[in-house]
């Protein structure tokens, strides 16, 4: 039997709005694993948060991998090994932070197991983010204190999507385009190194696992899932997905993330229940 690989976004896809997994979704993904196939969490979350979620969902055995930071890290949970890591040079990070500061935008980056934010930032947004995904925080006086190239940056703005679009345009017009940026929600702008996304990570992961692209399945709901759904042979947009995500998918689920949408995909399309 040929192996297949199922790539699952977390928030708004596998998890419900309360950040829990339904019993039906849980049973379905473990049926995939029990048959010797692969289940890969593919998320914009930092690695530590993705690993915590994987442990909570029981996705820590053989065949379980994580794509974190929107494709910047590929990690084999069972082997406890980083298979791929993309990073942003610190000089670029400092330049982007400086521009965000001029525009009055909240921006954060990551270091080891923590979110890193300048002390002058909007700490309410920091608390909101850390509480949402369960991760520690680190306050710094300036980005001069950073010592390691991070995987990504994240800009958050709750009230003005146009401010995020304007900043995204500024990023796109940087000389030699060293970065890519995309939305992972109405209030979130993800910033990563050029050419890094969930789609390119899917290709790399399938190659590492020896899985044919014909046997790749992916499910998501937000714009940062688009490349993944387009590149997978079988791309599923959740019923609750953004319209642009539905346009990029081969299929749209009948059920949303709060009503066993992933179980529907597995039981109807991947491993049909007779």
Q: Has residue 39 got a pLDDT over 90?
A: yes
Average pLDDT score, the chain: 94
Residue 161 has a pLDDT of 87
* pLDDT (0 to 100) of residue 257: 98
Q: Classify domain 90-193 at the CATH class level.
A: alpha beta
Residue 160's Cβ-count burial label (10 Å; 0-12, 13-18, 19+) is exposed
pLDDT of 59-101, one tens digit each?
Answer: 888 889 999 999 999 999 999 999 999 999 999 999 999 999 9
| Kind plus residue range of the DSSP H or E element containing 85 | strand 81-85
Give pTM, 2 decimals.
0.92
Bridge partners for 11 per DSSP? 15
Distance between CA 264 and CA 274 in Å, rounded?
13
Q: Which long-range contacts (CB under 8 A, 24 or more apart) does 123-130 make?
A: 125/156, 125/158, 128/156, 129/154, 129/156
Q: Is 45 helix (H, G, I), strand (E, B) or coil?
A: coil
Count the Cβ atoms, other than its own, within 10 Å of residue 240. 19
Element at 248 (helix H, strand E) = helix 243-248
Residue 176: its pLDDT value, please?
87
Backbone angles phi, psi at 106, to 5 degrees: -75, 130
Mean pLDDT of 101-119: 95
Identify which of 237, 107, 118 has the alpha carbon closest to the alpha carbon of residue 181.
107
**Confidence label for 267 from pLDDT (cuts 50, 70 and 90):** very high
Proportion of the chain above pLDDT 90, given as a percent: 89
The pLDDT of residue 134: 86
CB environment 89-109: b (16+ within 10 A), e (fewer): ebebbeebbeebbeeebbbbb
> Are 84 and 201 within 8 A, CB to CB?
yes
The CATH number that domain 5-85+196-270 falls under is 3.40.50.1000
CA distances from 12 to 16, 46, 57, 189, 270 (A): 6, 16, 15, 17, 20
pLDDT at 4: 97
Rg of the chain, C-alpha, whole Å: 18
Residues 202-250 pLDDT 10s: 999 999 999 999 999 999 999 999 999 999 999 999 999 999 999 999 9
Give pLDDT tens digits for 144-188. 999 999 999 999 999 888 999 999 999 999 988 799 998 887 799
Q: Where are the domains of the chain?
A: 5-85+196-270, 90-193
Place 45 in a pLDDT band, splitting at 50, 70 and 90.
Answer: very high
């Amino acid at each position: 039997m040929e192996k297949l690989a199922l790539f699952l976004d977390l928030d708004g896809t596998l998890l419900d709005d309360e950040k829990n997994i339904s019993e039906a979704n849980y049973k379905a993904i473990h049926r995939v694993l029990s048959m010797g196939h692969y289940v890969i969490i593919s998320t914009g979350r930092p690695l530590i948060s993705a690993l915590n979620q994987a442990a909570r969902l029981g996705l820590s055995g053989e065949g379980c991998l994580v794509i974190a930071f929107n494709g910047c890290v590929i990690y084999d949970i069972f082997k406890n090994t980083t298979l791929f890591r993309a990073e942003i040079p610190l000089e670029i990070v400092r330049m982007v932070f400086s521009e965000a500061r001029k525009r009055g935008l909240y921006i954060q980056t990551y270091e080891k197991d923590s979110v890193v934010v300048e002390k002058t930032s909007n700490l309410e947004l920091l608390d909101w983010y850390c509480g949402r995904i369960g991760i520690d925080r680190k306050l710094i006086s300036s980005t001069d204190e950073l010592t390691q190239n991070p995987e990504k940056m994240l800009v958050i703005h709750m009230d003005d999507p146009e401010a995020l679009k304007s900043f995204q345009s500024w990023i796109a017009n940087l000389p030699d385009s060293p970065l890519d940026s995309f939305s992972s929600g109405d209030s979130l702008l993800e910033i990563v190194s050029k050419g890094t996304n969930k789609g390119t990570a899917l290709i790399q992961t399938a190659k590492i696992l020896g899985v044919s692209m014909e046997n790749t399945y992916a499910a998501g709901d937000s714009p940062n899932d688009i490349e993944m759904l387009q590149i997978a042979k079988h791309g599923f947009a959740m019923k609750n997905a953004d319209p642009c995500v539905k346009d990029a998918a081969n299929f749209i689920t009948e059920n949303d993330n709060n009503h066993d949408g992933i179980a529907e995909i597995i039981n109807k399309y991947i491993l049909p229940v007779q």
